[in-house]
Amino acid sequence: MPGYAGSGQAVLIRSGQQVFLFQQETGVVGKASIALLLERIPHAFASANGVSLQASFTNVNGTPADPGAFEIDLQTSDLDQDVQYCNASAWKPTTLNANFVGRVEISFYARYARVFVKSMTNSVYLTVLATTGSGGTRSGTG
């Protein structure tokens, strides 16, 4: 599901599900992923949404590759319109593992979330996997 498809095209992701926001794509700098609509637990509207993002950088053959300096922003919005998204977290991992994989976990109250690739100095392929919690009762901190 690469690239933002436009207003009203968010993908519903239920508790415990995973969605690829980018799947071994190159040239994504300045591009947003498709938006996610995270399922809310019934009768728990005040609960935060939680999502983990795992990013990996590879070459064309799928071998781990150094992305150089980069910034990947998690953006959120209450409206699924491109101009409404704001940065919730700037992900600038200072340490990737030896295979150039990094992850972040975040909680937020917005209805929609997406990833925006702000910068990447090296030409590599990017995969970003979003995973929601496994269900159950969520606290206000996600």
At 23-57, the pLDDT tens digits run 999 867 899 998 998 876 665 555 677 888 899 99
Q: How far apart are CA 142 and CA 96, in angstroms?
A: 24
Token pair of 120 as six digits:
């990447």
Tally of domains within the chain: 1
pLDDT of residue 45: 55
User: Which residue, among 68, 91, 75, 65, has the nearest Cα to 35 in the 3D structure?
Assistant: 75
CATH number, domain containing residue 40 = 2.60.120
In a domain, 138, yes or no: no
pLDDT band at residue 14 using 50, 70 and 90 as cut-offs: confident
pTM exceeds cut of 0.85: no
Q: At residue 140, does pLDDT exceed 50?
A: no
pLDDT of residue 7: 67
Q: How far apart are CA 142 and CA 136, in angstroms?
A: 11
User: Which residue, among 33, 35, 39, has the nearest Cα to 13 in the 3D structure?
Assistant: 39
In a domain, 52, yes or no: yes
- CB-CB neighbours of 97 under 10 Å: 11
